[in-house]
Structures are given as structure tokens and as C-alpha cells.
Structure 1
């Protein structure tokens, strides 16, 4: 082979019109070409491989205790009991990351990294416990208590319950046994606790069962020794997060599933761990059991208002970024369903119910008397009974199938209606381009992990689920894979352009026949003649356009109407603060005033997060979130339009202009060769398509730089709550100084007065902080553009250098060096041939249809 075929495009660069699944399959297959022969030649290749291995696209999985979330994760991984599912407390407390394991050693097939909490986090939690117990005891010691007092006692008992469970689990002490203690006293009782705090532990195994036993001690209630003192205790309350690395198909393309149980955790540090992932999420799954979802009139309880707001700000509140997973759909109450109107009017169901009853009566009538009456043998009677039982099971399966299907339909309609109302504010009449994204539809995946496993070859299928596809797990796998495609494809494009540039440089350097017509001047001199100012020219042309593009980005700034936003926030803040006096501020029908003890718990936490339970009601308190969301709600639509749509959409116009600049650059380059090295003009013309690949990479990098503006913005708005919270601390400190009779009214007055006098300034400061952070974000965009120019020039320079080196005279080694070079070039051409064939004959290109689950 003299050189690879140049005119036929690579499969990965010519698949733009294919559907999502085929397109990403072609590109990700192209990243798996074996280039190890040249790994030692170019360090860039190792960097590309490392980037590929380190790539992760994060999908968050959230759900309440008992929602079946961990069972669903095990099914998605295709390991039945890899993650423990038998401890609700631990499952609620320990966030878990699930990522692909690139380690090829058999004994490292399963790996885990356990990160323990920092000492200061645990100390803060225990200090808060002793403060809350002090408040609780003060309330308990009151001689006479009203209904509100008893309600407040129940609430504060629910507040201290998680930390009391921690104390019982780790230190083996009940509430009575820690009376009079301090945090230091408690920590001194178990020296092993101090040893593990702030540390990490790593485990590995080649067997799933053995591995599961290893990590179980950190994720459920089983006890183990964790330090030098030899004490045995469950460690999960001390764990910040667990990272599990496993070889699973769903993780192979870089998807990282993150169990986010702390989104509504009563322990502030645990909730903070979960929220750190929010800006990184490409998609979010909210898991809710079918039986619980059926009791809710809407999906409001599946996603808090604050989580919804953050998803809207990050451009993720749509069917590709958000999925409601209705779990445990196999748990059905037949008799209850039969009484519903839909069941009574469903002729198919009624016929099946009648048929089932007739079969059961027929089975019961088959007795030993039938042997004589019908002259049957015992064997024949057993066969008839078996046949009846089989028919009964089939009919029962059909009945359950209809009931499950109908409940799924009803739940889907409810959730869709609620989601449509929630999403409506994200579009406006003049933004037709957003309607395809915000179409009022949300992804809903009903699943049954139990049915998924029972539908395997070695077990009988679960009634109502004739095959694995009916379990919903394959559909959920498909949704996760599809939701991650934008980030996976951006990553694949970036690496493929890097590999293509490397491929082209090697091809140019190793082209056959180059050394047989060498230059008569040195390579250095020839390069100087050709490139004396041409690199600076292209850099200047791109830089000139970068200024215009950066200005276009700046003009999309959503934070312009400051006065209007601040005035609106200050007005609404007064109502929010007034609502803090009530248990359920949004309930205007029968408002219940908050108890003084609960109010005190809020101000003692500086308006921070905590969860309590009053009777059957679960109450989330987060005052600082309440007041910060006021600001974010005023900017959400403009923020989303600008950062998640308008700015990324600038890429199309940018591509046209870059193409024009590049075309002019190639013409200048050709003229320079014609003037200084005319004998190499044919070689340049053969190589010119390689330089077009650099232009394609520039276009791709610019598009990703625009997308990065949006991604970086997701890190900015969470800081608003922190800015506001810091501003409110003096108010809460002053309120806490009020004691004695009537202190609740005085505390409310202090807080209300602070809001009246300072809210406008607080929001102005928070708004200014957002503006400043967004400005820094835009400045990073400008620096990214400069980096793109520098990289483009560097790659052009590498190609010209390779061309000249291919035809340059040899050094003093003479013929020996020439022979070695020719041999090396030949061996490299063999590698390039294989590389070329694999890229041009992709399996996904040849397939007319790709199995989405396998992808």
C-alpha cells in the first residue's frame, strides 16, 4: 500500500445523518482502534487514551427510603446483589458512585473506594444533637403542655432521631447513656472512630459475592473492626460516599450512576455531598414506588421545588434530562383494582376474571370420586389438575398484566399533566425554537427489578411479566444510554479529532517515496521560508473573530434587569419571612403556627437545612433556600434561554466564519509553497485535506467552548444561597439572644425587621455576586478560544514539519540512518493501513439497526 485511501471518508466523520444510537456507536467504536504500536512514539496518544478512560457522564438516581432504588441499580448493573438492599437507614445515608472499571487484572474486576466523613462534619452534627436535646428537655420539663407543645416535641424527636441512631450504631449508647456528655466525651469512647475519619479505604475482588461482603460493612448494619483498638461496629454512619468500579455494559461508555439519597437528608453534611453532584448531572432519575405514586394526586412529592428550579436553571428539566422511574410495578392489589371503574368497564379483564373463577371451580371439583365416575387413572387425574393449574396461572398472568398496564397508564397521565404545568413557564410565545425541547413531556419508565431477575432462564417468570423486556429494566437502560449521548458524542468527537490529527501527521511523515526526492536545503531553512509569518496570520485572523464571538456571548448575558429583579425579590421576601411563622406557609386554608421550639431550631441553624416529622407529615425546613430561590426564580427563564440555548446556538454561525478564515489560510499557505518550495506543491496538495481536519477540530472545540459556558454556569447559581445565608447570620444571632416569656414574638420581630431593612441590599449583593461569577465564566470562554487558536497553529506546524522531515536530507549517519528511517516508515504504514480500514469499515456503519440496549 502506497498510502491509505484519501477520498473515502471515515465512518465516524460521515455518519451525521444517522440516528442517535448508530451515530454514537460508530464514534465510540472508532475510539477502540488498537494504536499501541505507536504509543511510545507520540506522548499525545497516551494523553488521549487517559482522557478517554477518565471520561464520565454523570446520571443521578434519587428516591426515598424503600423506593426500590438500590434494587433498580443492581438490575441496571446486571449483578443481582452487588449493592446491599437490606438496610433502609444506611441506604438513606451513604451516597454511592457507580463507574466503569478499566482495570484488566482478574483480581481487580470489582473495586471500591470508601471515603469517610471529615472529623469537623461529625463534630458539627454531634454538637447540634446536644443542643437539640437541650431544647427538647426544656420543652419536656414544662409543667403543662398544649397540643402545639406535644406537636413540637414530636417534631424535635424526629429531628434528633438520625443522630441518635448514629450514636447507637457507632458507640453503642442510647439516649439515656449520653446524658451530661459532650461531643468530646462521646468521641473518646471509641478511638477507632477518630482513626477512620478523614481517611479512605480501598477494596478489590474478582468475585461479586466476595466483593459484596467486603463493602457491605460500609453500606449496611453489619459490624466489623475498623481500627487498631479492635472494636467492632457498623461504619456506615461515618461514611461520606462509596465509589464502586465494576465492569458493566451500562457503564462502559463512560456513564457514571450516582445514588443521591441525601437530597432530602436530615443531616446537612450528607445533603451537601449529594448536592455537589447536581451541577455535573447530565440527567436525573427520580425513583418512586408504583403503590406510593398511585396515592399521590401529582408527582409533586417526587421532586422538590428547589430541585426543579435547579434543573430548570441547568437546562435539564425536559424529557432527555429527567426521568420518573415508577418502581415495584409488580406489587399490585388485584381485588382493589377490580373495584375501580376502569376495571368494571374493561370487557377483556372481566372475561378473564370469569374464566379464572371457572377454572378454579373446575380444579376444586376434581376429586378421587372422578376416578370411578369417569374411569380415570390417578396419573390422568394429576395430569388434568396440572393442566388446570397451568391454565389458571396463565389467566392470572393476563389479569395482572392488564392491571399493571392500566395502573401504569393512569400514573403516566397524572405525572405528565403535572410535569406539563411545571414546565410551561420555560417557554414563551416568541421562542418557537424551544418548543421541541420543552414540549410538556417527561420520560416515565415503569420497572420491576423482581420481574427482571425472575425472567432469567433458570427461574419461572413472574405472573404478568412474560419476558425481561416487560420488566422495564431494558427500557430504562436504553433511556440512560440515550440521555447521555450529547456528552458522549462531544467527548468522542473531541478525541477522534485528536486521533485524526495524530493519524494525519504520522501518515505525512511516513509517506512512501518522500526520502527518494530529498530537499536540497535544510529542513529548518525550508520551514522558515514557508512559515515566516503565516502562523501569526492565521492566529491573528482567528483572534479577530474571537473578539466578535466573545462580544456575541457577552450580549446574551441574562443578568441585565437588576433593578426590576431586586425590587421584585425584596417585595416577595417579606411574604417568605412571614411564612416562617407557619408550619405549612403555602396552606392558606387552615394555617398552623410554628412552635417556638421549632422556630428556635431554625434560627439556631442559621436558616439551614433540616427535616422533621410532625405526626404523619414530613416537613423540610430550609429558610435560606426559601429566600435564595426568590432571586433565582426571577432570572430562571432568561438564564435558561441565554445559557442553555442562545449561547450554544452561536456555534452554527461560528462554524461558517471559521470555514471562511480557514479557506483563506490554505490559499495563503499554497501560495507560500509555490513561491518558495514549488517542488513540494504536489506533496502539499496531497496533505491539504489533513489540514481541513484541523479546521473541523477547531469548529468542534469552539462548539464545546460555548457549551462549557452553560456547564460552568451551573456551578454559579448555587453560590447565591451561600451569599444570602452569610448575610442573614447577624439576624439569627440577634434573634437567639431573645429569651423568656414572649421571646418567640420578639424573635419573629427581629427577623421581620431585618428582612424589611436589609433584604434589598442582600439581594443586591447576591445579584452582584452572580454577575461577577458569570463575568468570570465569560472570561474563561475567551481564554478557551485563545487556547483553540494556539492548538490549531501547533497542529498545522506539526503537519508542515512532518512533510518537510519526510523529504529532508539525512544527518551524518548517512545511508544507515536513511535505511532505518525507511524501515520505520514501512512498519508505520502497516499500522496506518489497519487503522484506516477499521475506521472506514465500522461495524455500526454496516449494521442497518443497532440494539439500543447493547449500545
Structure 2
């Protein structure tokens, strides 16, 4: 079939593409993006032979730029929680993997930061891939110096088990031996230095390197990875034969790549052991990951399967269905016991009959065997089986008699005596064949009597057995339903309770800030915000990773473990969490796709106009063309100026907003914080009973630049010193960047969209332009750009990054001011060292407390100013791009640039591609 004539009206239609560009459905948008990417590849193929032509090269670059927009954007979600809370198990379940992230019910298994993201490789041998990033040599030497210091200080504590697992010295020794399992404590001190240990062949090649592991199967991958990230228990003596070097102390981060559907949209999960890690490099890395995390707050309550009905029912109201189900369960259990008691004697007598029948059969077989021998002897030698030398057990006979009384409905056989069940006496002698025949008939008769009796007993037992089986199933089902109701009640109670606790915490923070801001006018009954909305906005998920894995057919080694209370996979809570994880990326994905489709639409129009160039230009004389181009330039310049003024006014409004709510509060907040830090430092020096720090903990914290996680818990001097300032700025900061700033961005987007619409109306009123066949098509192109101005999510994300970085500049400024004090105090030792440490720290803080807060606020203000500039520049960049495209479209109606004049093959190929393009998008609907 011949292609339609060049320039036909059908070629101009992009209705389905433009409809897609305003979609909200992530699935449709992503399908449209995939279709668009394929069309772009076809266009590139059509143009590749003419890539040396300047105009064609420009189009190819434009195509490349549009394609790059379709790349998946990372959305980082950190998973934090206490040791043993089940973080790794939950992550595995969300990923639909049994054990991608190593887990262990006996100890903390993931001792390193673990980042999990989507694996783009389609190579089956690399289905699972990991990059293990090791710390640098300098970082390991610094860590070893700290560990050596802990060992030395532990040795100076007489009368104390300084090498115990709960002491700094014990932890330090265990960590060193994890990497160097051959070393004893004495060998470490007498023969090694931190620098020397870092040069050991076993670690020298690892430090600063990245090790890549791949595997086609999850179980093989987990085994490979576990060798690096698993932390094992250590003994305090010399190395055992089974102990080998561990790698986790040397690892900064582990990056796992897997083709999990949950990650395909750009979601990145990070399993964070904690930001108070004693390894400085890993602690800093954890802090950086937290900075990358999105603003979503989500609470996950794991291990919902950890529940017992007996305990749970005590907490449930009496009218809850669980109590009714439990009563039904107890009634059925009582009935089951009674039925089993009835069934027991019958079953026992059946078993006894079976044994006697087997014994008589042996007797029959022996006699028949002897009689089968063909000879002329009048007698046979007959020997009774050994098992028939005694009578049946008295207990069995008594049970039989009891069962007759209880269950026989026919008394015709109830007159049988015990002799009927008596086995023949064992003997070994010659008897006549005639007597043998008589004896055989007698034994067969007794066997027949037992078979009849057994058949009758089976008829009695069968309904009882069936009833027992049915009762057991009913009891099991009720037991599961009781647990299910208990879990549902606990989950239903926990979710709103956690949400309310969260809202109450926000309320307390607001009230505290309000009281600090103006104590005289503070009203505790005044609600600063809608706290019910704050509570409902918090996502809370109650999940059981183990139940989900089991119900999904995994955890085969745990086949003996019952999972009562989960009627289906949905009850485990994991599917809902998976859907939530996907939804986190939806807004980012949707905005990205819409931008891609809008730019794609513009490219198509531009190329269409070049393909049908003979119908495109207005039929104007050169002077008229010049006048029209000047008109377009004036209109565009007015648009640029108008939009520029809007951006300028918006930037000033943002700066005013930040000044009023944040930077104007710096002076008062600093004065109050200066007083508070003196109290904070004094609290460190108090006796332990009054909440102070032990001497060793105080010094160990200084050695580690103010951050230490010891047996007594985590300590962060820098955080404690910065909190008085951060706390007083928190309310205004949060209000600006959670409410006011996003609203102002939306308002600016609406304003710019209106200005572009105004430009379009102006062009519509120009009579010459509308004479072009292509005018309506070009005019329609402005509509997606109007919507693009309203798309402010990426601007909000940019502003959010900037304000986060600004808020996090306070603590580093405190650290810089305190660094010399930490170094000095960390080097103190010997008699009176603790007194000297406290005195020096008190004096140092007194001398720097004002300047460090001044530096912190100055740095924060500079970053906020830079953030405003970054947002403004991003808006200007986008508006310049959009206005440039609009200008090019309108000028193309006037200027004849037939770039395909000498490229007939490329023109024909493009014609076919563009003519069918919109049909590709129609299929999505």
C-alpha cells in the first residue's frame, strides 16, 4: 500500500501523545515513555547516515537529550531500627527474596551498610550482583588507633574484667581479632602498630578496593555475600581452628543489585545498622545516606507473628470476636477429647486383634507347610511359632470385654470366652496328619472369629475416626482464626496509637518552640497546626516477614513452623508495604515521564514541519517575512521579560520568607543556645549517678571526635551541642519548607503558565500567522508547555535538598570548633587526667561557644541563599528552553529551512515513522 501523500492532515495528529502527556497514571505514562523511546530509536536510525549535516547533528543531540530524561530517578529509602528488629527480614520480603540480605536469628548479621537497587543486567549469570566497597588505608589506620587506645585504657583498670564483651577494651579486641584472628592481646601491643597492621598482606590489597561478586542463584549469592558481611561471635583466647578472617570491619558499604520488581521504578533500599557505628567511615556513610533519603516517614512494626492467644486475649475487650471464637475452640477441644477417649479402647482392641490374627496366620502357614510335604510318613513334625507359646495379654482381653459392653450392638458374639482368643500351645513333636488337619481347621476358625470381630470394631471406629479428624481440622481453623483476630486487633490498635504518638511529639515540639519564642504570649491550648492530619499522614505498617515468606513457598527449612493467624499472604502486611514502596516513587516517575512526553511531542512537530516543508511556510515576500520575524522576536522578548520579572519577584519573596521565619531568629536562638551548651558540658562531668559520663566513656568519646557508641549507649557531643540551636530554629524551618515554600513554588508555576497562555492569545490575534496550514498545530504545542510550568515537583525536590544541606551545616560547624578540644582531651592519660579533661573541655567551650554558633548560622544562611539561587536558575533554564522552543516553532512557520532537500531517503523514512507515531500511543489506551 502506498504511503499517504506528504503533508496530509492525518500526519499532523498527535492527539494520543498529547493526551498521555497530561496523564496521572504511572503505568500509562511509563508505557508511553517506552513507546516514545522506541520511536526515537527509529528516528535516530533514519538520520544516522546524515549525521555530518549540521542540522541533522543538532536533531540527534536533541534526541539524545530527550532520551536521557527517561532514565530512572533514584528514590532512596533508609531502613533503620534496633538490632534484632527484623530490618533485613522485612527488606528480603519486600524484594520477594528469601535471603538476599543475610539474616540470623541469633545475632546481628548485617554489620555493614547495605544498599539494594535494581539490576539492569539481563545476563542470567549476573542475576545477582554486589559491589563491596572497602574503607581506605587511612581510614583503617585511624580506626586501629582508636581500637589500640581502648585496649591500653582497658589494661589500666585493675580489679575489672577489662576484656569482657561489654567493655570498650573487649569490643576493641574482638574487632581487631575479627580481621586478624591469629593475634593475641599481647602480640598486638608488643609486635604491632596500626600502620603495620594496615600493611598486613591479608588486608593491604582490600583497603580502598571494590570487590564484585555475581551469582545466577539467590542461595549461592547469599552464601558468597555472607562471608563478607556476617559478624560472628569471637572467643577471647587464641584463634580456634575454625576461626577465619572476617571482612565486615573493613567494609564501608555493600551495594546489591537484583531484578526485584519493587526496585524497577528507581527505589533504592538502604539497610542502616545505625548512625552511631564505632567505625567512623561507616558512620559518616550512614549519615550521608540519611541525607539522601526522601521526606516520607513510614513506621514498620515487624514480627506480628510473635503473639500468643492466651496473652493477647487478656488485653482484648470482651465483645471482640476473638473471645467468641476462642470459646468455640475450647468447646470443640473438649468434644475432641471425649471422642478420642471413646475411640481409644476400640482402637486398642483392633490392634490386639490384628496382632493375634497375624500370629494365627503364622500357625496356619506352619501347618500348611508341613502338610504340603509329599511323603509316605503317617505323621508330620510340627512346630508352633514362638510367638504363640503364651496367651494374649490380659490387658488386651480386658479392653476387649470393655469394648463389648460399650460398643457391641449385636450380642450374638458377646458370649465368646477368653479361650476363643487363646493361642495354641507351642510344641515340637510328631503328630498324625489327621490331627494336623483337625488342628488347622481349629486355628482357621479362631482366625475367622477374630477377623469378624475386627471388621465389626472397624465399623464402630470408622465414624469415630472421621469425627476426630473433622474436629481436629475445626480446632486448628478456629485456633488460626483466634490468632488472626488477635493480630488484627493489635495491628488496629497499634497503628492509630503510633500515629497519635507521632502527632503528640510534633505538638510538644511546637509548644516548646512557641514557649521559647515568646513565653508571655504562649497559649498551650492554641493549636499550631492540624495534628489529626499530621497523625493520619504517617504511614504505619504491621508486618510479618516470616509469614509472608512461608506463605510464598519459601523457608523450606522452617517447614515445621506453623504460622497460625495468617489466612493469606495479604494478612502478612508485606504486599501492602510493597505497594507503598512503589508508590513512593510514583510522583517522581510521573513528573519525569510527562516532561519526556512533552519534549517528545515538540520534537515530532518540528520534524513533521521539516518533512512536509513545502506546505509549511507562509507565502510571504522577503520584506513580509522580515516583518513577521521581528513581530515574533518582540513578542518572545516581552514574554521573556515578563517571566523574568515573575521569577525575580518570586526569589525576593522566598528570601523574605526565609528571613522572617529563620534567619531573623538566629540572634535570639544563638544567645539562648550559648547558655545551654554550658549546662550540656557540665552534665558530661557530673557523677555517673547524676547522669554524667564515666571517665573512660568521656575520654573514648573525645578520641572518636565526639561520637561514640559504647556499652553504656551512644554519645554524640556534637549533636548535643548543636541541639539547643537546632531546636529553636526547628519550627520556623519546618513551617517554611513543608508549607510556605512549596505553596510559593506552585503559585509561581501557575503564574508562568498564565503568562505563556497570554503569549499564545497574542499570537492568535495576529492575522498573518493564522494563514499557515501549520498554525493550529504549532499553537497546540504551547498547551503542554503551560502544564510543564505547573510541574513543580522537581523544583520542590531541589529546594528540599538545599534546605536539608543547610540544616546539616550546623553540626559540622560545631565539630570544627570542638575538634582541637577532642584531640587534646583524647591524648590525656595518667593520674588526674579526668579532672584535666573536664577542666579543658569547660574552658574550651566557654571560649568558642559564641563563635561556633555564629559560624554555624552563617554557613546555614549562605546555603539557604544558594538554594534560592539554584531553584531560580533551574526555573530560568527551563523557561529559556521552553521559550526557545516556542520561538523556534513560530519562526519555522515563516522561515524556509528545507534541511531534507538533498536527503530524500531520510525524509521518506521519517515520514513513515511520524505518520504512524500517534498510533503507537493509542494502543496504550
- Give the TM-score taking structure 2 as reference length: 0.75
Q: Which of these residues, 160, 167, 181, is aligned with residue 157 of structure 1?
A: 167
Contact preservation (8 Å) 1:82, 1:208: yes
What is the match of residue 187 of structure 1?
A: 198
Contact preservation (8 Å) 1:359, 1:391: no
What is the match of residue 333 of structure 1?
A: 308
What is the match of residue 472 of structure 2?
A: 389
Find out whether 1:246 has 2:258 as its counterpart: yes
Indicate the larger mover: 567-576 or 478-487.
478-487
What is the match of residue 909 of structure 2?
A: 824
What is the match of residue 377 of structure 2?
A: none
2:596 and 2:740 mapped to 1: Cα distance?
26
Tell me by how many angstroms 1:623 deviates.
0.8
For residue 577 of structure 2, give the secondary structure of its aligned residue in structure 1: helix
What is the match of residue 273 of structure 1?
A: 285
Find out whether 1:712 has 2:802 as its counterpart: yes
Find out whether 1:198 has 2:208 as its counterpart: yes
Tell me by how many angstroms 1:276 deviates.
0.5
Find out whether 1:462 has 2:556 as its counterpart: no
After superposition, give the CA deviation of every residue in 1:417-462 in whole Å (9 maximum; x if it has no partner): 4222212156689987765752466322111112112223698872
What is the match of residue 849 of structure 1?
A: none
2:778 and 2:120 mapped to 1: Cα distance?
36
Q: Which of these residues, 558, 571, 583, is aligned with residue 675 of structure 2?
A: 571
The alignment yields a C-alpha RMSD, in angstroms, of 3.6
Contact preservation (8 Å) 2:681, 2:841: yes
1:516 and 1:729 mapped to 2: Cα distance?
70
What is the match of residue 128 of structure 1?
A: 146
For residue 111 of structure 1, give the secondary structure of its aligned residue in structure 2: strand
2:912 and 2:860 mapped to 1: Cα distance?
57
What is the match of residue 2 of structure 1?
A: 10
1:177 and 1:382 mapped to 2: Cα distance?
71
What is the match of residue 776 of structure 1?
A: 866
Tell me by how many angstroms 1:164 deviates.
2.4
Tell me by how many angstroms 1:573 deviates.
1.2
Q: Summarize the Cα distance change of 1:207–1:153 in structure 2 as closer, same or farther, 3 Å threshold.
A: closer
Contact preservation (8 Å) 1:65, 1:92: no
Contact preservation (8 Å) 1:2, 1:511: no
Q: Summarize the Cα distance change of 1:430–1:824 in structure 2 as closer, same or farther, 3 Å threshold.
A: farther
Tell me by how many angstroms 1:657 deviates.
2.3
2:599 and 2:468 mapped to 1: Cα distance?
69
Contact preservation (8 Å) 1:217, 1:234: yes
Q: Summarize the Cα distance change of 1:655–1:601 in structure 2 as closer, same or farther, 3 Å threshold.
A: closer
After superposition, give the CA deviation of every residue in 1:242-276 in whole Å (9 maximum; x if it has no partner): 22222222112211111112333232322211110
What is the match of residue 699 of structure 2?
A: 600
Contact preservation (8 Å) 2:480, 2:564: yes
1:546 and 1:516 mapped to 2: Cα distance?
35
What is the match of residue 399 of structure 1?
A: 482
Contact preservation (8 Å) 1:735, 1:747: yes
2:138 and 2:478 mapped to 1: Cα distance?
60
For residue 217 of structure 1, give the secondary structure of its aligned residue in structure 2: helix
After superposition, give the CA deviation of every residue in 1:12-68 in whole Å (9 maximum; x if it has no partner): 44446xxxxxx3333333322232312455333444444433411111111222222
Contact preservation (8 Å) 1:56, 1:255: yes
Q: Which of these residues, 348, 351, 354, is aligned with residue 330 of structure 2?
A: 354
1:221 and 1:621 mapped to 2: Cα distance?
23
What is the match of residue 219 of structure 2?
A: 209
What is the match of residue 856 of structure 2?
A: 766
What is the match of residue 307 of structure 1?
A: none
Tell me by how many angstroms 1:93 deviates.
2.1
1:407 and 1:553 mapped to 2: Cα distance?
46
Q: Summarize the Cα distance change of 1:580–1:51 in structure 2 as closer, same or farther, 3 Å threshold.
A: farther
After superposition, give the CA deviation of every residue in 1:301-329 in whole Å (9 maximum; x if it has no partner): xxxxxxxxxxxxxxx4xxxx222211111
Map 1:62-73 → 2, pairs under 5 A: 62-73=80-91
Q: Summarize the Cα distance change of 1:204–1:583 in structure 2 as closer, same or farther, 3 Å threshold.
A: farther
After superposition, give the CA deviation of every residue in 1:391-439 in whole Å (9 maximum; x if it has no partner): 2211221222233233334444543342222121566899877657524
Structure 2: gaps (5+ residues): 1-8, 48-59, 234-242, 348-402, 408-456, 512-524
1:386 and 1:265 mapped to 2: Cα distance?
55
Find out whether 1:795 has 2:856 as its counterpart: no
Tell me by how many angstroms 1:187 deviates.
2.9
For residue 534 of structure 2, give the secondary structure of its aligned residue in structure 1: coil
Tell me by how many angstroms 1:234 deviates.
3.5
Tell me by how many angstroms 1:633 deviates.
0.8
What is the match of residue 534 of structure 2?
A: 438
After superposition, give the CA deviation of every residue in 1:216-252 in whole Å (9 maximum; x if it has no partner): 33232699xxxxxxx9743333221122222222112
What is the match of residue 272 of structure 2?
A: 260
Indicate the larger mover: 263-272 or 760-769.
263-272
Contact preservation (8 Å) 1:326, 1:445: yes
For residue 234 of structure 1, give the secondary structure of its aligned residue in structure 2: coil
Q: Which of these residues, 321, 346, 361, is aligned with residue 370 of structure 1?
A: 346
Q: Summarize the Cα distance change of 1:272–1:363 in structure 2 as closer, same or farther, 3 Å threshold.
A: farther
Tell me by how many angstroms 1:787 deviates.
1.2
What is the match of residue 646 of structure 2?
A: 545
Tell me by how many angstroms 1:128 deviates.
0.2
Find out whether 1:490 has 2:591 as its counterpart: yes
After superposition, give the CA deviation of every residue in 1:499-541 in whole Å (9 maximum; x if it has no partner): 3333433344445973799877699979955654544433222
What is the match of residue 734 of structure 2?
A: 640
What is the match of residue 591 of structure 1?
A: 690
Indicate the larger mover: 92-101 or 353-362.
353-362
Indicate the larger mover: 389-398 or 162-171.
162-171
For residue 355 of structure 1, give the secondary structure of its aligned residue in structure 2: helix
Contact preservation (8 Å) 1:154, 1:613: no
1:794 and 1:236 mapped to 2: Cα distance?
54
What is the match of residue 105 of structure 1?
A: 123
Q: Which of these residues, 650, 653, 656, is aligned with residue 555 of structure 1?
A: 656
2:579 and 2:183 mapped to 1: Cα distance?
47
Q: Summarize the Cα distance change of 1:50–1:204 in structure 2 as closer, same or farther, 3 Å threshold.
A: farther
Q: Which of these residues, 687, 711, 724, is aligned with residue 613 of structure 1?
A: 711
What is the match of residue 227 of structure 1?
A: none
Q: Summarize the Cα distance change of 1:261–1:523 in structure 2 as closer, same or farther, 3 Å threshold.
A: farther
Map 1:33-182 → 2, pairs under 5 A: 33=35, 34-35=38-39, 36-40=41-45, 41=47, 42-86=60-104, 91-140=109-158, 157-158=167-168, 161=171, 164-180=174-190, 181-182=192-193
After superposition, give the CA deviation of every residue in 1:691-740 in whole Å (9 maximum; x if it has no partner): 2322332332x553244122221122222111101111333445457655
- Give the TM-score taking structure 1 as reference length: 0.80
Contact preservation (8 Å) 1:408, 1:446: yes
Indicate the larger mover: 98-107 or 564-573.
98-107
1:536 and 1:595 mapped to 2: Cα distance?
70
Indicate the larger mover: 321-330 or 368-377.
368-377
Tell me by how many angstroms 1:136 deviates.
1.0
Q: Summarize the Cα distance change of 1:404–1:177 in structure 2 as closer, same or farther, 3 Å threshold.
A: farther
Indicate the larger mover: 192-201 or 458-467.
458-467
Tell me by how many angstroms 1:11 deviates.
4.2
What is the match of residue 33 of structure 2?
A: 31
Contact preservation (8 Å) 1:508, 1:687: no
For residue 541 of structure 1, give the secondary structure of its aligned residue in structure 2: helix
Contact preservation (8 Å) 2:613, 2:898: no
Q: Which protein shows a greater Rg?
A: 2
Tell me by how many angstroms 1:621 deviates.
0.8
1:583 and 1:503 mapped to 2: Cα distance?
75
Tell me by how many angstroms 1:281 deviates.
1.1
